Amino acid sequence: MTGPDPEFRSGFVCFVGRPNTGKSTLTNALVGEKIAITSNRPQTTRHTIRGIVNRPDAQLILVDTPGLHRPRTLLGQRLNDLVRDTYSEVDAVGICIPADENIGPGDRWIVDQVTRMAPKTPIFGVVTKIDRVTPDRVAKQLLGLSALLGPEREVVPVSAKSGQQLDILTDVLVGMMEPGPAFYPDGELTDEPEQVLMAEFIREAALEGVRDELPHSLAVVIEEVIEREDRPADAPPMVDVHAILYVERDSQKGIIIGHRGSRLKEVGTAARTQIEKLLGTKVYLDLHVKVAKDWQRDPRQLRRMGF
> Which residue ranges make up the annotated binding site for GTP?
17-24, 64-68, 128-131
What is the Cα–Cα distance from 155 to 301, expressed in whole angstroms?
Answer: 41
- Binding residue numbers: 17-24, 64-68, 128-131
Three-state DSSP at 306 gives coil
C-alpha to C-alpha distances, 4 to 173, 175, 184, nearest whole angstrom: 20, 18, 14
Rg of the chain on CA atoms, in Å: 21
Is-contact 183 61, C-beta < 8 A? Answer: yes
- Across the strands, what pairs with 49? 64
**Identity of the amino acid at 101:** E
SS3 240: strand
Using alpha carbons, select from 192, 181, 156, 161 the residue that is nearest to residue 171: 156
Q: Taking a C-beta distance cutoff of 8 angstroms, is the pair 159, 130 a contact?
A: yes
DSSP character at residue 190: B
- How far is Cα 165 from Cα 159, in angstroms, rounded to an integer? 7
